[in-house]
Structure 1
């Protein structure tokens, strides 16, 4: 099989690797479409180490371990490495491939008790009002956070977005105070916009999916003491008003939060099947893995606004076409 090895730059090397044999509880997937994520260029740059990319993918089950009962060879699935929720036949591979990592990150940030904001789950929606700020709401993680929070009856949703705002407008419930704040108007306008949307309510929870520069500071200025911001990247300094911040980690859905992960990923599969969870807009980067380096460079340059880059593996040089 072919494997894409990413180093700082970003630079990508395509190498031949042996096909792995799944362990007792593992699933081997023949990937049809892989999604590119910002962390794919950030991790090699920050750590100085090479990584093999492709945490997000959709394809067909090739083999299953002896203790696997939920999947069988030939199933159409989407997965976040150690297997996530099935995409079945109700969405295209291109639509399914970005779901596992991005929706999983949103769910972990919103609902996990340890490592997340600990908000009420969709299965136990609150009756009281719980304002929530989602910064970067038109990005993949942010847009899934909007949908999951709405399903959990968390309102008002104060969504900070820019040019991609139109892609999430239809997801909001304005009757419950959901609104969009345009970050392009500047830092001061963002804080004022959040405060105006709160209409006197207390803000205690925020999910910062941008997590860069002044984003968390803008949120914290609208919070009262004791508020908490979950960030997709590590803290960059102390925040005003005694606001707490932490970096969330989606990897906990594998361990130690396996039960939470299993519950959420089944919810994703059901949501896609029933049309209650909407996939994000995507752009196919033609040329398969041969064009991964360009895709990551474009991600680094900020060229992907409210769209997910995906790559069809069968367009890679040296890969046989897939039926």
Structure 2
């Protein structure tokens, strides 16, 4: 029988269980997963209400079956897809399910490994830049400054994360610039994405000074009009507050300040700043049309080479490697890389447990669960 991974809410163990092949609902696609990607939310989100579940959302594989109202896909098609957050049959499995509107055909020049880096990160960046920040899309780009157009600067905090990197690639396609990227140890990769790289590791004061130096060099004053915070933790809100234009600036974050700012109760942007928390689950609820349009556009951008996948690392063992990838993400080991799993490499191992796991059956004790709690557990995902 096919298998899937259940991630325990302690993030200390996963259980590989037998599960039947899903039956698609009317607008769903069942995909035989060839490669699954993973994201930071995959270790954080199972903590939501202490509910162990299959938290994978990045799918790349072959269509197995489609619902009765699906007309764009058929069994045998190569596809990538974004699974709907918090629902059954995620990507850590031999068979996964996705809505047809966040499924897209894979060009022949894109591997399954590359494809597995794209859906969640690519759609998150698109929601941020084009739904919330309302910047010009690549199919309606601005005239670049070097060709006589007006400069439209944007700063991307965490530019070497998958979400940040896709945002930088989109910004380039949209004719924005200068593009300033905040990065750390993956600075060399950041230089391939943006016009200027500033290093957050030198401290907040040095970071702010470096940003102001770039703006002065470009003749743009001392404040940034557009900021996308692809980190939204560990002081990024506070740093952003110091260089965002207080009179008309726009900022998008991937996590809400009320849960992740250092001073959660008192943090706020100036009244003149438009601030958005850009949540990709909206493509499965309030922004289904955008999810549909942009998913198909991703296929086009990939086919003609305007967009490239994020760098990836294959974690050995297929589904048996999921725990390793999640632990690496939790421990901050990933840098400018997405972890992916080749499902066919899975061996028959019913339970994998980290050395620090407690209790039986991979279920956390109450105290252990609380010790591993994360603010994402309170994030109001729009289902």
Whether these two folds match at TM > 0.5 is yes
Paired residues of 1:159 and 1:180 also in contact (CA < 8 A): yes
1:252 to 282, 288, 310: 282
The 5 A counterparts of 1:182-193 are 182-193=199-210
Paired residues of 1:191 and 1:221 also in contact (CA < 8 A): yes
Q: State how many pairs are aligned.
A: 311
2:125 matched to which residue of 1? 106
**Higher CA-based Rg:** 2
Distance 2:268 2:335 in 1: 27
Q: Which runs of 4+ in 1 moved over 3 A?
A: 239-246
The 5 A counterparts of 1:94-173 are 94-112=113-131, 116-127=132-143, 128-172=150-194
Secondary structure, counterpart of 2:302 in structure 1: helix
Paired residues of 1:206 and 1:230 also in contact (CA < 8 A): yes
Distance 1:77 1:31 in 2: 10
The 5 A counterparts of 1:258-269 are 258-269=288-299
Q: Does 1:231 align with 2:266?
A: no
Paired residues of 2:124 and 2:280 also in contact (CA < 8 A): yes
Structure 1: gaps spanning 5 or more residues:
173-177
2:64 matched to which residue of 1? 62
1:175 matched to which residue of 2? none
Shift of 1:68: 1.8
Structure 2: gaps spanning 5 or more residues:
84-98, 144-149, 350-383
1:38 matched to which residue of 2? 40
Shift of 1:29: 0.4
Q: Which deviates further from its counterpart, 66-75 or 299-308?
A: 66-75
Secondary structure, counterpart of 2:165 in structure 1: helix
RMSD: 1.8
| Cα offsets for 1:235-264 (capped at 9, x unmatched) | 123146554543211111222212211221
Query: In structure 2, do the counterparts of structure 1 residues 240 and 260 end up closer, same or farther at CA, with 3 Å as the change threshold?
Result: closer
Distance 1:119 1:44 in 2: 33
Distance 2:155 2:50 in 1: 33
1:288 to 296, 318, 327: 318
Paired residues of 2:10 and 2:47 also in contact (CA < 8 A): yes
TM-score (norm 2): 0.77
Paired residues of 1:85 and 1:100 also in contact (CA < 8 A): no
Distance 2:140 2:66 in 1: 34
TM-score (norm 1): 0.91
Structure number with the bigger relative contact order (C-alpha 8 A, sep ≥ 6) is 2
2:196 to 179, 183, 189: 179
Q: Does 1:273 align with 2:303?
A: yes
| Cα offsets for 1:81-104 (capped at 9, x unmatched) | 223322232111111111000100
2:15 matched to which residue of 1? 13
